[in-house]
Structure 1
Amino acid sequence: MELRHLRAFVAVAEELSFSRAAARLNISQPPLSQQIKRLEREIGVPLLSRTTRSVSLTAAGEVFLHEVRAALAGLQDATKAAHRAAAGQLGTVRLGFSGPTSYQALLTIARTFREHRPDVRLEIVGPLYGGELVTKLIARETDAGLLRLPVAAPGTRVRELARHPLVAALPAEHPLAGRKSIGLSELRDEVWISYPAGRGSVVNQTVRDACLAEGFAFQRKQEAPDTHTILSLVGAGMGVGMVPNSAEHLEVPNVTLVALDGGPYVPLGLAWRDEPPAPALAALLGLLDEVIERMPADS
């Protein structure tokens, strides 16, 4: 069934005149008559009742006209939607994120994106560790990932959004908790609570490298699945931890975050596959300068 036949039928049905419908469609009358006859043969029932003086709709034609109008309107809407999707104004972006210490960045991205692309759905995946996010990105299970850098994966591109210094998480009653800052080596004999091994935690690797640079290996006695749990265990007096300073908003009771003298930092960035992005993702990537400008000053 050809689209032009449907439009021809609507024109005749609305004009109730082949001559006026032909003029409306800017074609001659004989081809218009042939289109209607072909449509009726394809449908299998007469749609128009013709006499030498008038044209009227049959009962089948009246029902068919109603359905065709709806179909053409739906086609028009679909065409508009396709154009909007091609312009990055419709669609879905699947964004992975790495947990509580990236909440502020996630909030800034979501708010900025919604302001510019209110009809694009932002589907959040996570929280996951950096290595897990990269795996999902490469497997095309996400479109982009908000994660700690560096990203050691070929076929990806990265934009740094913020840098967060690592701080010591201490029980409030710890002898060093009252200090404005401490040296990393002052924690060499402490029991450490850390993120899980084997899940691609950039913070774990950064802490390990920083401790080795100070001449000691941290004694990891307890693992916790996320930053909030690390802080909760610290608050319970089970040990000390090292977390990005962006964890300050969690405000876990009985925990004090203390700056490290010349301590390491962990960058936070957005990663995506090194290929032409879909329009909705391209729209998000085009907003990263604004996202960076809107990030909190302490980021």
Structure 2
Amino acid sequence: MTLDDLRVFIAVYETGNLSTVARALDRTQSAVSQHVKRLERETGLALIERQPRGVVPTQAGRILYQAALGGIASLDTALRRLGELRDGLGGAVKITTGGVTVRHFMAGAISAFRHHHPDVSLEFRSAHSARRCVELLHSGQVDLAWITLGRPLPGIQQRPVVELPWVLVVHAGDPLADKDAIHPGDLGAIRYIAHPENSASRHRLEENFVRLGFAPPAPVGVADWDTAILLAELGVGHAIVPALPRLPLSPDSPVRAVPIPDLTPITVGWAVRQWDALSPLATEFADLVTATGQGAQGRTAPKMPR
């Protein structure tokens, strides 16, 4: 069993097609098949089933894929860092998150980190759901993911940073803007600007609606947090968003943010494959964001072991 065998097997598993992998790797289909067969001989189990339109993994194949994916990703990360040491490069920290997160939670940490490490690059991969962020972590394409936290995730360690209550953002001229708080009875009639369909925040919010005993209002639009706030400013609808650190809350702002105390707050923070395996630079950046995030609007989330 070689690393090349495992890399080819991962590619076959993910594409479900031997010829596609052969073209991508500039090899013959027979050569690709031999890599899989060698693994099957060593494990004593069939790893894929051949079908008319490709291949599908067996139970043994799924087990090997999960183990190989984490191992190859960790090894690739180590080889990248060794190459940086060998070549005298400053290195890089790779982060995945939504674009609004950078503005609301990371701006100060980025400036501080760049001041201390001008030769280190911060590379951001935008993702529109927590699931996509976790996929990028599992594949080794990023070091850190900033996500809405929830249930345990296989092969992923989570660190909560800040707990964010929900607010209703409305135009300053809207009748709801004069309320001290928004109650469940108010929510049924709002013009709801929904979050993207696959986002964790939308799932949490709609779970809250069900818990309070009514169906989510029919959306008048779909947008990320910042765009939803802008649409509320334009009078298009009402935005239910977490109480973000940089919400426009000045007295002369064209919008108002009214608390919704009956909705369960969400927790946001870091997800990694393994804290102990992070580079010192990635750990330092995560700690900087954690420190600035816990000083922002919202409540510090309960601590979890690394």
Shorter-chain TM-score: which interval? 0.5 to 0.7
- Corresponding residue for 2:186? 186
- Corresponding residue for 2:167? 167
Q: Relative to structure 1, is the Cα distance of residues 141 and 284 closer, same or farther in structure 2, using a 3 angstrom cutoff?
A: closer
Which among 63, 82, 100 is matched to residue 85 of structure 2?
82
Q: Relative to structure 1, is the Cα distance of residues 102 and 184 closer, same or farther in structure 2, using a 3 angstrom cutoff?
A: farther
Report the CA distance between 1:247 and its aligned residue: 6.1
Deviations 1:175-216 (A, max 9, x none): 22112222133211223111121x2x1211121121112111
Q: Does 1:245 align with 2:243?
A: yes
- Corresponding residue for 1:256? 256
Q: Which runs of 5+ in 1 are unaligned?
A: 1-78
- Corresponding residue for 1:96? 96
Q: Relative to structure 1, is the Cα distance of residues 258 and 96 closer, same or farther in structure 2, using a 3 angstrom cutoff?
A: same
Q: Relative to structure 1, is the Cα distance of residues 287 and 236 closer, same or farther in structure 2, using a 3 angstrom cutoff?
A: closer
- For 1:219, give the aligned amino acid: P
Report the CA distance between 1:287 and its aligned residue: 5.5
| 1:248/1:257 contact within 8 Å kept | no
Report the CA distance between 1:123 and its aligned residue: 0.7
Q: Relative to structure 1, is the Cα distance of residues 239 and 256 closer, same or farther in structure 2, using a 3 angstrom cutoff?
A: same
Q: Does 1:203 align with 2:206?
A: no
TM-score by length of 1: 0.61
SS of corresponding position for 1:233? helix
Q: Provide the alpha-carbon RMSD of the alignment.
A: 3.0
| 2:161/2:267 contact within 8 Å kept | yes
Q: Does 1:155 align with 2:150?
A: no
| 2:84/2:91 contact within 8 Å kept | no
Larger radius of gyration: 1
- For 2:218, give the aligned amino acid: R
Q: Relative to structure 1, is the Cα distance of residues 158 and 82 closer, same or farther in structure 2, using a 3 angstrom cutoff?
A: same
- Corresponding residue for 1:23? none
Report the CA distance between 1:124 and its aligned residue: 1.5
- For 1:165, give the aligned amino acid: P
Q: Relative to structure 1, is the Cα distance of residues 142 and 105 closer, same or farther in structure 2, using a 3 angstrom cutoff?
A: same
Alignment of 1:103-182 (within 5 A): 103-126=103-126, 128-150=128-150, 153-182=153-182
Cα distance in 1, alignment partners of residues 269 and 151 from structure 2: 9
Cα distance in 2, alignment partners of residues 109 and 246 from structure 1: 16
Q: Which runs of 5+ in 2 are unaligned?
A: 1-81, 299-306
- Corresponding residue for 1:8? none
Cα distance in 1, alignment partners of residues 108 and 267 from structure 2: 16
Q: Relative to structure 1, is the Cα distance of residues 291 and 237 closer, same or farther in structure 2, using a 3 angstrom cutoff?
A: closer
Report the CA distance between 1:243 and its aligned residue: 0.5
Cα distance in 2, alignment partners of residues 291 and 229 from structure 1: 23
- Corresponding residue for 1:11? none
Deviations 1:50-99 (A, max 9, x none): xxxxxxxxxxxxxxxxxxxxxxxxxxxxx9972797xxx83111111223
SS of corresponding position for 1:249? coil
SS of corresponding position for 1:96? strand
- For 2:264, give the aligned amino acid: P
Cα distance in 2, alignment partners of residues 129 and 229 from structure 1: 16
| 2:168/2:240 contact within 8 Å kept | yes
- Corresponding residue for 2:26? none
- Percent identical across equivalent pairs? 22
- Corresponding residue for 1:216? 214
Deviations 1:272-299 (A, max 9, x none): 11375353xx433256445433333423
- Corresponding residue for 2:232? 234
Across the two proteins, how many residue pairs are aligned to each other? Answer: 214
| 2:91/2:121 contact within 8 Å kept | yes
| 1:169/1:234 contact within 8 Å kept | yes
Cα distance in 1, alignment partners of residues 136 and 84 from structure 2: 28
Cα distance in 2, alignment partners of residues 105 and 192 from structure 1: 25
- For 1:228, give the aligned amino acid: D
SS of corresponding position for 2:201? helix
Report the CA distance between 1:121 and its aligned residue: 1.3
TM-score by length of 2: 0.60
SS of corresponding position for 2:291? helix
Cα distance in 2, alignment partners of residues 285 and 131 from structure 1: 22
Report the CA distance between 1:122 and its aligned residue: 0.9
Alignment of 1:18-37 (within 5 A): none
Q: Relative to structure 1, is the Cα distance of residues 184 and 98 closer, same or farther in structure 2, using a 3 angstrom cutoff?
A: farther
- Corresponding residue for 2:10? none
